[in-house]
Amino acid sequence: MQKITELSGTINKILCDATAGITEVPQGADLCPFCEPSHRLRRHGIYRRTSVTADAVFRICIQRLLCAATGKTVSILPDFLLPRKQHVIPVVAAFFLAFALQDLSLAASMVYATTIYPSRRKGTHWIRCLLRNEPAVRAYLASVLPRRRIPQSEAAPPPSARSGFITRARARLKPLLDLLRNGFRSLQDAFRFHSRNLHIRFARALL
Ligand SMILES: [Zn+2]
């Protein structure tokens, strides 16, 4: 399983360290999620994964921990990464900001977010992933946000069969993104926080 964990330092510093094989395991992140009572896990090698920022590609090390009692492993994923997604959260958040809140085209939104592999197909994939998770994300937000802060108008408008994918996606994304960034300085801060907490509480990825 993966544990999404807050690490100290800037994203670039953590990525550079992880590329050089330096991996941090913060206090508490090394506690066994499988055993009761819990115990500390021991380091158990690394695996490599690709991480893409707005202007660079990193091949980073992800620390793996082992529970010797059960033989199960835990990977420590920095909280600016999404499981099974190569682009870091600031890139993904910038895309959604441009596409759904600034009404830029798919292509322009990708170029706004990153110079690395800015394909429309990838943007479309992110949109489908987030919208597929919408019920889980809303259930999670309802459990963490004070009720009075969730406006009545949050319910997604019924999609019209005649409108295109872009129009229908924006209509659903706008209220969802407004809910997510409620109380945060930026969408990327909100994505990072909620991605980590959604994963901790419901073992689900944000997208
Ligand atoms: Zn254990």
Q: In this predicted model, what pLDDT tens digit does every residue of 89-143 receive, in sequence order?
A: 999 999 999 999 999 999 999 999 999 989 999 999 999 999 999 999 999 999 9
Distance from Cα 172 to the centre of ligand 1, integer Å: 41
Angle (nearest 5°) at CA 51 between 87 and 55: 70
Distance from Cα 205 to the centre of ligand 1, integer Å: 23
CA distance linking residue 33 with residue 44, whole number of Å:
16
Averaged pLDDT of the chain: 93
The pair of structure tokens assigned to 27 is: 């206090």
Q: To which H or E segment does residue 2 belong?
A: strand 2-5
Quick one: pLDDT at residue 16? 97
Nearest alpha carbon to residue 129 among 191, 207, 199 = 207
Quick one: pLDDT at residue 26? 93
β-strand 2-5 against 42-52: which pairing, if any? unpaired
The pair of structure tokens assigned to 151 is: 């406006």
163 band by pLDDT with thresholds 50, 70 and 90: confident
How many domains are there within the chain?
A: 2
Kindly state whether residues 122 and 54 are assigned to the same domain: no
Report if residue 179 sits inside a domain. Answer: yes
Distance from Cα 204 to the centre of ligand 1, integer Å: 21
pLDDT at 157 over 70: no
Kindly state whether residues 174 and 146 are assigned to the same domain: yes
Report if residue 83 sits inside a domain. Answer: no
Kindly state whether residues 71 and 151 are assigned to the same domain: no
- Residue 140: how many CB atoms within 10 A of its CB? 19
Distance from Cα 23 to the centre of ligand 1, integer Å: 21
Q: Is the pTM of this model over 0.85?
A: yes
Quick one: pLDDT at residue 40? 96
Distance from Cα 198 to the centre of ligand 1, integer Å: 23
Distance from Cα 34 to the centre of ligand 1, integer Å: 5
Percent of the chain scored above 90 by pLDDT?
A: 89
